[in-house]
Structure 1
Amino acid sequence: MARSIIEQAGYGDNFGHGLGHGVGLTIHELPTLSATSSDLLGDSMVFTIEPGIYLIGYGGVRIEDMVTLEKGRVKVLTRSEKHLSF
């Protein structure tokens, strides 16, 4: 879903990495969330969803949410807001 939204916005070529990863004893561990991963998600797993777009010569942005899977449904653990105020 994240990839299709990024592609629809015209930035598909700028999203060249995975979508997320598991979190446990270390910050980056299995499961890996990417188009090429065959890792399975299971109940009580904690993982990140962190789509990012990077523009050569300009910079990039990545927003990371920590989530868990409970009874087959995703529960977002991150509580920070996602808007910028200037």
Structure 2
Amino acid sequence: MDAAARDVIDRAGYGEFFAHNTGHSIGIEVHEDPRFSPDDHTVLAPGMLLTVEPGIYLPELGGVRIEDVVLVTPEGAEVLYSMPKTVLLTGTA
């Protein structure tokens, strides 16, 4: 999962601004292992509940990180909770 997210971000030209994990599992605690990073090689399996939350942070501008909650199913994945991905500019700094 992490590699797929990093590939999209790299191809968009923002790879150097993505310096953290892509997401994590959810269980008894909201933040549980595995945490999806370049060093993680977890094989996703049906029944796993996880987040997908890549974020990009631009120097002197800021950034955003939106967390979607996903259930891994035998058929693939079901997004249980997702936030809109549109950008709304409210003014200038």
TM superposition score category, shorter chain reference? 0.7 to 0.9
Match of 1:32 in 2: 35
Q: CA deviation at 1:72?
A: 4.9
What is the alpha-carbon distance in structure 1 between the residues aligned to residue 84 and residue 66 of structure 2? Answer: 11
Tell me how far apart the structure 1 counterparts of residues 63 and 40 of structure 2 sit (CA, whole Å).
Answer: 24
Residues 79 and 59 (structure 1 numbering): CA distance in 2 closer, same or farther, change over 3 Å?
Answer: closer
Partner of 2:65: 62
C-alpha distance in 2 between matches for 1:62 and 1:17: 11
Name the stretch that deviates more: 72-81 or 38-47: 72-81
The aligned residue for residue 81 of structure 1 is: 84
Q: Which residue of 1 aligns with 2:56?
A: 53
CA RMSD in angstroms, aligned pairs only: 1.7
The alpha-carbon deviation at position 38 of structure 1 amounts to: 2.5
Question: Partners in 2 of 1:78 and 1:53 — Cα distance?
Answer: 20
Q: Which of structure 1's runs of 4+ aligned residues deviate more than 6 A?
A: none
Task: Render the CA deviation track for 1:11-46: whole Å, top value 9, x for unaligned.
Answer: 100011111100111111022211111333221110
Q: Which runs of 5+ in 2 are unaligned?
A: none
SS for the counterpart of 1:5 is: helix
- The normalised TM-score by structure 2 is 0.80
Q: Given the superposition, is the C-alpha separation of residues 14 and 85 from structure 1 closer, same or farther in structure 2, using an over 3 Å criterion?
A: closer
Q: TM-score, normalised by structure 1?
A: 0.86
Instruction: Give % identity.
Output: 42
Query: Secondary structure in 2 aligned to 1:6?
Result: helix
Q: How many aligned residue pairs are there? A: 86
1:9 & 1:33 partners in 2: Cα distance? 20
Question: 1:3 & 1:56 partners in 2: Cα distance?
Answer: 19
